Structure 1
């Protein structure tokens, strides 16, 4: 059993958790001719989608690359391995809520936006159409009280939307379809107020697929 000190060293050596999908990426191979491969980049909200609504991903060229708890600097660090090197046509970037929670330390909204922008720029530079997703609503974080996500998430989403419009990118507005009057998620959409239920993902699914279709139509 690892000591606390050894665990901290191990985590520091793979801070972005590059090992998580290393073997899966190797076994995936390059897309087949005509395959409209799509990568979902994100955190626990993204990876939880495969667990709660697996049929959304079944028999589709959708690849889930969410890692629980991750922040935008961690995603940016693994973006080449877990997105670019998989040669998708489209990537959905859903990130920022864990940054606001401070999972890897203090982050300003501007710093979060910088990392999201960098992922979008990397995608476009490699012929991948990025879809920038709004951060999902959250009235509070049960694991990090006092972070005021009900105030900060709408501000970050405004920044993401403005950047997307400025750069001619697709903005996928989950927030507008799911937020209640307290800028959070109702219990039927997220029992803990953060992670979607099956019903929550069923709202997100058609929105994501419409955005993917739009992104594919933009490509040559």
Structure 2
């Protein structure tokens, strides 16, 4: 009887794991498809000039959670256009509306973690997803610069070590994919394209993001965001009107 109960429990657990894996893969595939390009339409129409230079923070949940500090908080009109769970593919459909049409002085681009996690879990789509991510980040930077704004592109912060409960639905391929894309992002540096090397700042020579700088596998802690805010403030200082160059 005990053996039978153990067998039934094992079968139930396996079924739950397989169901969760299927759900996660379906969700990963969804992230690589475009959705909701008009998400901020009403907010964009209502946005008024504050008399300050505008910075738009564009991208995914990491963009949505980005904080500002120092002179940035007082000297700039900060507009957040980050969408949790969104890939760069999805974000590309709203870049014109949520960035270019707002006529910012600076655009901070924070995207790619969702593409990388999804691609690592879908081997058949991996190379196409990485190519799309590189192309999308390049396009965001180039179109922002062409509009007269300064593009600040963040490298992708590598995830932390996954928890045991996440391990069955996790691929360590994500770290290599992010390294590849970050090399591409660093190569985008130009006169009007600056690189915020968030991965170098938070992860450095470690393999994964330290747990005290994370809230889960892919999201950053308050301390991490504070470190990035301080670095962003340094980068923006010379871009303020009247600043010495």
Q: Please give the TM-score of this superposition, normalised by the length of structure 1.
A: 0.79
Q: CA-to-partner distance for each residue in 1:20-64, whole Å, 9 max, x for gaps?
A: 2111111113x344x2100000101111236xx899986551111
Structure 1 moving runs of 4+ over 3 Å: 53-60, 103-108, 139-144, 214-218
Call closer, same or farther: CA 1:93–1:188 in 2, change over 3 Å.
same
Displacement of 1:108 after TM fit?
3.8
Of the three residues 199, 209, 212, the one matched with 1:188 is 212
Name the count of aligned residue pairs: 204
Counterpart position of 1:124: 145
Relative contact order (alpha carbons < 8 A, sep ≥ 6): 1 or 2 greater? 2
Structure with the largest fraction of helix? 2
Q: Is the 8 A contact 1:139 1:182 kept in 2?
A: no
Aligned counterparts, 1:103-118, within 5 A: 106=126, 107-118=128-139
Q: SS of 1:120's equivalent? A: helix
Q: Is the 8 A contact 1:140 1:147 kept in 2?
A: no
Q: Alignment partner of 1:23: what SS?
A: helix
Q: What is the match of residue 97 of structure 1?
A: 113
By how many angstroms is 1:71 displaced? 1.1
**For the Cα contact (< 8 Å) 1:140–1:146, is it kept in 2?**
no
CA distance in 1, matches of 2:112, 2:239: 22
Q: What is the CA RMSD across the aligned residues, in angstroms?
A: 3.3
Q: Cα–Cα, structure 1 residues 25 and 57, in superposed 2: closer, same or farther, change >3 Å?
A: farther
Matches within 5 A, 1:48-197: 48-49=65-66, 60-102=76-118, 106=126, 107-139=128-160, 142=166, 144-146=169-171, 148-165=173-190, 169-179=193-203, 182-197=206-221
Aligned to 2:61: 44
Equivalent residue number for residue 25 of structure 2: none
Query: Structure 1: which 5+ residue stretches go unaligned?
Result: 1-10
8 Å CA contact retained: 2:100, 2:144: yes
Please state how far the C-alpha of 1:87 moved relative to its aligned partner: 1.2
Q: Does 1:19 align with 2:25?
A: no
SS of residue paired to 2:89: helix
Tell me which residue corresponds to 1:205. Answer: 229
In 2: Cα distance, 1:125 partner to 1:49 partner:
25
TM-score, structure 2 length as denominator?
0.71
- Residues 58-94 of structure 1 show CA distances to partners (whole Å, capped at 9, x for unaligned) of 6551111100111112112100110111111000111
